[in-house]
């Protein structure tokens, strides 16, 4: 059966890199809200210009906008997917529950990539994306701690949260991610 997975973790944890590998290996859709928002920015549309201002500040864009993006993609793609960067707060987590119930596509697992803060800051500053300046990075980590980290509990109480050590080489982490998904496929309980 094709997997339906949320990938959680702070900025710089490696969600994008790992999702790309996992999606390619398993034939899943990789749905990154950050990538889709950055693509909108490059079109220079009015919406893109508004989104750019939010991204440059390190803030989150509106819940309704990202939900619309995710809803459109998931409604068209029923074959298995990885959500990267969504949900980002408890409102979005509740919106996703409702959306998946409507679509009849229950979530199988939320994989949480764990990396400590010093390593995150170092990785983000090396990455050098336009929203990776030190002040913006610190703000994004703060928003993560306040708004996103609490949603781990949302999945934990549902028995859906599984933690993955995000330290080490890309390949080592990819192996851990794949093993975690295999364990879920074999019916093992998600634990963190």
Please enumerate, by residue number, every residue annotated as part of a binding site for ATP. Answer: 12-17, 127, 168
Closest CB to ligand AMP among residues 52, 176: 52
Percent helix / strand / coil, the chain, rounded to 5? 55, 10, 30
* Residue 21 contacts residue 15 (beta carbons within 8 Å): no
- Which member of 9, 10, 11, 166 binds ligand AMP (CB under 6 A)? 11
Alpha helices in 43-162 (DSSP H): 46-57, 63-76, 90-103, 117-127, 134-143, 151-156
From the list 5, 8, 37, 93, which residue makes contact with ligand AMP (rule: CB under 6 A)?
37
Shortest separation between residue 89's beta carbon and ligand AMP, angstroms:
7
List the binding residues: 12-17, 33, 38, 59-61, 85-88, 92, 127, 129, 140, 168
d(CA 41, CA 45): 7
**With binding defined as CB under 6 A, does residue 34 bind ligand AMP?**
yes
Closest among 2, 4, 3, 19 to 113, alpha carbons compared: 19
Candidate segments 50-58, 106-114, 153-161, 183-191, binder of ligand AMP by CB under 6 A: 50-58
88 in contact with ligand AMP (CB under 6 A): yes
Q: Which residues bind ligand AMP (CB under 6 A)?
A: 11, 33-34, 37, 54-55, 58-61, 66, 85-86, 88, 92, 131, 140
């Amino acid at each position: 059966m094709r997997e339906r997975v949320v990938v959680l973790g702070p900025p710089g944890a490696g969600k994008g890199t790992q999702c790309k590998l996992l999606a390619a290996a398993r034939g899943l859709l990789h749905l990154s809200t950050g990538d889709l928002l950055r693509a909108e920015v490059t079109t220079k549309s009015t919406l893109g210009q508004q989104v750019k201002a939010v991204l440059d500040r390190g803030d989150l864009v509106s819940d309704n906008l990202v939900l619309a993006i995710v809803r459109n993609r998931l409604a068209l793609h029923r074959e298995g997917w990885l959500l990267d960067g969504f949900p980002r707060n408890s409102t979005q987590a509740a919106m996703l529950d409702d959306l998946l119930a409507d679509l009849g596509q229950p979530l199988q697992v939320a994989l949480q990539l764990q990396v400590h803060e010093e390593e995150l800051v170092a990785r983000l500053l090396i990455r050098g994306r336009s929203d990776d300046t030190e002040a913006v990075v610190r703000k994004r980590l703060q928003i993560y701690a306040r708004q996103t980290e609490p949603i781990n509990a949302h999945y934990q109480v549902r028995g859906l949260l599984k933690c993955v050590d995000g330290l080490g080489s890309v390949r080592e982490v990819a192996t851990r991610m794949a093993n975690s998904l295999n364990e879920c496929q074999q019916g093992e309980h998600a634990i963190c």
